[in-house]
Amino acid sequence: MTDSPVRRVAVVLFEGFTVLDVYGPVQAFASARTARPDGSWHRHFEIVTVAEKAGPVKAGEGPTTHADYAFSDAPAYDILLVPGGFGTRQAINNAPLLLALTAASRKAAITTTVCTGSALLARTGLMDGRPATSNKVAWDWVVQQGPRVKWQRQARWVDDGNLVTSSGVSAGVDMALSVIARLHGVDMARQAARFMEYVWHEDPADDPFA
């Protein structure tokens, strides 16, 4: 049996990102794997981190994560993941970051956002006229960042083809599993959820926080 091609996920980092927005989806993608006859595992996704410059980036919760690449040096990738966090309040006014994010999204086959990451992407204009969702606690602030976006409040995540946005924090795991299901089948996504001992909300309209 030949291993299927590995898709690369590029995770955007900026000062004040939310830890679970990043590492929840990262764990989901990393848990999408197939056993080989020799007992080893074939992972279907490779994860890298990107930022304005390579090096340490501090999360809003305190821990520091290392950005593997600057946007300009990042290898080709299939999926772009944009997290949220309190740092988005400053990041939306960071013109160089928004320009880099615009270019990065255009290179991806699928761009995904978690929580207020949709506010950051909305500021690029790439979401104009498209359905999307975000964190319900920060809802009023988020929708102001993209007045032309077709915001959907009642949604755990919204899949619009090459744009997939998710609600607050833990919803990013559900969204990532949905992307895995699209690319590798629902059984693979459910298996990844079992690896994590995670109860996957499979219905994107199942949003108890709306």
Chain centroid offset of residue 125 CA = 18
- For 74-107, what is each residue's pLDDT tens digit? 999 999 999 999 999 999 999 999 999 999 999 9
Chain centroid offset of residue 141 CA = 20
Residue 122 has a pLDDT of 98
206 belongs to a structural domain: no
Taking CB atoms within 8 Å and a gap of at least 24, the contacts of 145-152 are: 145/92, 145/119, 145/120, 146/118, 146/119, 146/122, 149/118, 149/122
H/E element, 180: helix 171-184
57 belongs to a structural domain: yes
Residue 4 has a pLDDT of 81
Distance CA 33, CA 99 (A): 34
Which residue segment(s) compose the domain that 171 sits in?
7-196
Give me the mean pLDDT over the 24-32 stretch.
Answer: 97
Q: What's the CATH number where 95 sits?
A: 3.40.50.880
Q: How many domains does the chain have?
A: 1
- For 13-22, what is each residue's pLDDT tens digit? 999 999 999 9
Distance CA 29, CA 145 (A): 29
- For 34-79, what is each residue's pLDDT tens digit? 998 998 999 999 999 999 999 999 999 999 999 999 999 999 999 9
Residue 66 has a pLDDT of 98
Residue 2 has a pLDDT of 66
86 belongs to a structural domain: yes
Give me the mean pLDDT over the 179-190 stretch.
Answer: 97
Residue 3 has a pLDDT of 76
201 belongs to a structural domain: no
Residue 149 has a pLDDT of 98
Residue 1 has a pLDDT of 52
60 belongs to a structural domain: yes
79 belongs to a structural domain: yes
- Work out the percent of the chain whose per-residue pLDDT is above 90: 93
34 belongs to a structural domain: yes
142 belongs to a structural domain: yes
Distance CA 26, CA 89 (A): 23
